[in-house]
């Protein structure tokens, strides 16, 4: 049996003669999906009474039902179900699912997603080009079509504001484009303030993409930045958080990727942003949907198929929504001749839907990989052959022997610059709290609803840089929580109520070379081990999903007011208003460091 990857289907250029023969009826297809309705992402209609002729992993033709009169082709009876093109996720960070690309494929195919565009800037922040290239090798072995939007903003800000493992210069970005055909665009250019201000390094990276004719993905907050951002060559974004900025972006020539996510997380901006269409009357033709970040657990329940159905709930017709989930991104990157619709010559990446637009079966490159909601033996076999990351990827948490994790108690009256956490959790508030002298930290915590937050540099670039701060309203009731996934530099972030539990959390992560954990009374009560770059498990997605379920349960029991994925964003110093990195507290968009405490 052929090993199933993106490369199992031959290029169209070598297949046109045979496909023309099949479409003309002179040669047999090898598979006919019979008795189907077809969801056309081209015309945005559902066409009744169709059958789909496949050969060599591509679509030869869609014909009226009953046209195939029998021969050597296998027949799959769709029993009147809806056949649609596989979904295309236009913007995703695989690392957020804490699994490898190979492992991610399993969840994607179960959700009807057959192509994705990943921005591997997490592993790039830890391991620089070596990490990105390892993940590309991983992706090449996956039973899924995975393209790269080259990480553009590593580090997310500058060495003055944080210490990252990676440093992706314009030269390195250009070299990635030149070496890897999978590198189809520049990934989200997150440093929107420097971009708008004309920063030289930022624009050199933009130029590395634009000079090569590659489009640029963006990430911007604030309507006042949109026009400068578009003028800098950014032509898509997934960060529209409301109707007005979504509308501004569309008009500035920026494709919108509406991000949907579990309603309890900060990722569900789709319902607000889609109102540019449903309330302001904009065309949906330059709008797609995406997931962006999904942990292993949520991935099984809130995949791109779910986001697509959310678009239907928000007022799009099912046909429009499915086009937003597949064809539109393919179009945006000039790949609609390969994917995104059921046209002749396209890859046979298909999904069979029930009447609620829930995926039932999935074909990848003409091979049945999910049948009636379950993975097939073929896919199971493909998933058992996995990429092994290089040894260096398993050794990325480098800490000094001794680190103090909590600040000294102020002796006088001070103003603390605290980070206020609250749902949905993406933006964080800058809350100044006056602390009168007290006997211990616990008095402050009790009075003001605070806890410690500490970031420790882990790339071995400093002798254990450590920065202290306070979280307000995080509502942690006991122990500590910690993570080696601390966007985007992925230093270790720890929140806690006491030094001892925070030390246990830090050393647990050092021991496993990465992970997210909850500690209570000196004991680790939940831990997702992430030994690859401190970001990824090397288990299958279903196993990781189980581990994440337990983590979430303990996380919630510890009282944290935002989920662990929001917690991981606390060091991400490109989102307002205040964040903490290993260099200290950073104000955004001012991009200034402020001390944790100032004399009152």
- Binding residues vs its own copies (CB under 8 A): 11-14, 16-24, 26, 40, 42-45, 47, 59-63, 195-198, 200, 203, 206-207, 210-211, 215, 227-233, 235, 247, 250-254, 276, 280-283, 285-286, 323, 331, 333-334, 336-337, 341-346
Longest CA–CA span in the chain (Å) reads 89
Nearest approach in angstroms of CB 92 to its own copies is 21
Q: Which is nearer to its own copies, 5 or 40 (CB)?
A: 40
Q: How far apart are CB 177 and its own copies at their closest, in Å?
A: 13
Nearer to its own copies, 346 or 583 (CB): 346
Nearest approach in angstroms of CB 28 to its own copies is 14
Pairwise CA distance, residues 55 & 114, whole Å: 18
**Distances, alpha carbon 152 to alpha carbons 171, 185, 192, 254, 489, in Å:** 11, 10, 12, 18, 13
Judged by beta carbon, residue 254 or residue 596, the one nearer its own copies is 254
213 vs 377, which CB is nearer to its own copies?
213
Distance CA 137, CA 90 (A): 20
- Nearer to its own copies among residue 14 and residue 384 (C-beta): 14
Instruction: Give 230's DSSP letter.
Output: H
- Least Cβ distance, residue 271 to its own copies (angstroms): 19
Q: Could you tell me the two tokens for 379?
A: 């896919």
Report residue 20 as tokens: 């023309």
Instruction: For the CB of residue 280, give the shortest distance to its own copies in the complex, in Å.
Output: 8
CA-CA-CA-CA dihedral for 33, 39, 41, 45, to nearest 10: 140
Nearer to its own copies, 201 or 413 (CB): 201
Residue 287: strand pairing partners: 256
- Picking from 154, 92, 96, 99, the residue whose alpha carbon sits closest to that of residue 564 is 96
DSSP letter assigned to residue 544: H
| Smallest gap from residue 252 Cβ to its own copies (A) | 5
Helix axes 318-325, 304-313, angle to 10 degrees: 150
- How many C-beta neighbours within 10 Å does residue 523 have? 11
Considering beta carbons, is residue 287 or 414 the nearer one to its own copies?
Answer: 287
Smallest separation, CB 131 to its own copies (Å): 27
List the structure tokens of 475.
């509502």
- Name the residue nearer to its own copies (CB basis): 11 or 159: 11
Nearest Cα to 515, choosing from 543, 546, 483, 488?
483
- If you count them, how many residues does the chain have? 600
C-alpha 486/C-alpha 469 separation (Å) is: 15
Instruction: Quote the least distance from Cβ 596 to its own copies, whole Å.
Output: 32
């Amino acid at each position: 049996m052929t090993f199933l990857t993106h490369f199992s289907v031959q290029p169209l250029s070598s297949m046109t003669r045979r496909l023309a023969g099949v479409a003309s009826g002179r040669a047999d297809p090898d598979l006919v999906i019979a008795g189907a309705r077809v969801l056309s992402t081209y015309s945005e209609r559902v066409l009744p009474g169709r059958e789909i002729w496949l050969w060599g992993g591509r679509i030869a033709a869609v014909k009226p039902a009953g046209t195939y009169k029998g021969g050597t082709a296998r027949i799959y009876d769709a029993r009147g179900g809806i056949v649609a093109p596989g979904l295309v996720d236009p913007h995703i960070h695989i690392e957020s699912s804490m699994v490898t690309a190979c492992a991610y494929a399993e969840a994607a195919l179960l959700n009807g997603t057959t192509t994705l565009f990943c921005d591997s800037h997490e592993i790039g922040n830890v391991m620089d080009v070596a990490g990105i290239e390892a993940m590309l090798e991983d992706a090449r072995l996956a039973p899924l079509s995975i393209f790269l939007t080259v990480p553009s903003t590593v580090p997310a800000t500058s060495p003055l504001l944080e210490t990252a493992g990676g440093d992706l210069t314009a030269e390195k970005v250009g070299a990635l484009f030149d070496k890897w055909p999978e590198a189809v665009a520049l990934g989200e250019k997150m440093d929107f303030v420097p971009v708008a201000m004309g920063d030289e390094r930022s624009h050199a990276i933009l130029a590395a993409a634009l000079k090569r004719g590659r489009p640029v993905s963006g990430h911007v907050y604030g309507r006042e930045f949109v026009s400068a951002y578009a003028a800098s060559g950014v032509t898509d974004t997934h960060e529209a958080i409301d109707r007005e900025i979504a509308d501004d972006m569309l008009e500035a020539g920026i494709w919108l990727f509406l991000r949907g996510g579990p309603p309890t997380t900060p990722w569900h901006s789709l319902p607000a942003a889609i109102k540019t269409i449903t309330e302001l009357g904009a065309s949906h033709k330059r709008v797609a949907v995406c997931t962006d970040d999904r942990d292993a657990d949520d991935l099984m329940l809130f995949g791109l198929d779910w986001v697509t159905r959310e678009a239907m709930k928000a007022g799009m017709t099912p046909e429009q929504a499915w086009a937003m989930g597949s064809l539109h991104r393919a179009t945006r990157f000039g790949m609609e001749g390969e994917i995104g619709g059921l046209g002749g010559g396209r890859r046979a990446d298909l999904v069979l839907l029930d009447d609620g637009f829930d995926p039932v079966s999935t074909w990848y490159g003409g091979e049945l990989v999910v049948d009636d909601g379950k993975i097939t033996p073929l896919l199971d076999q493909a998933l058992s052959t996995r990429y092994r990351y290089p040894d260096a990827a398993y050794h990325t948490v480098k800490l000094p022997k001794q680190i103090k994790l909590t600040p000294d108690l102020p002796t006088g009256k001070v103003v603390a610059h605290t980070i206020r956490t609250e749902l949905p959790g993406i933006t964080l508030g800058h809350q100044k709290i006056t602390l009168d002298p007290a006997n211990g930290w616990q008095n402050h915590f009790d009075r003001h609803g605070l806890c410690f937050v500490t970031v420790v540099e882990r790339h071995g670039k400093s002798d254990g840089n450590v920065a202290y701060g306070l979280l307000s309203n995080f509502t942690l009731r006991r122990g500590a929580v910690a993570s080696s996934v601390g966007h985007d530099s992925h230093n270790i972030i720890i929140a806690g109520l006491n030094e001892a539990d925070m030390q246990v959390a830090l050393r647990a992560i050092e021991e496993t070379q990465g992970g997210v954990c909850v500690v209570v009374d000196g004991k680790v009560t939940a831990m997702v081990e992430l030994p690859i770059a401190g970001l990824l498990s090397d288990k299958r997605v279903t196993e990781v999903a189980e581990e994440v379920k337990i983590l979430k349960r303990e996380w919630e029991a510890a009282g944290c007011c935002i989920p662990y994925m929001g917690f991981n964003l606390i060091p991400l110093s490109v989102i307002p208003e205040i964040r903490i990195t290993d260099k200290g507290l950073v104000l955004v968009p001012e991009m200034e460091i402020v001390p944790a405490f100032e004399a009152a």
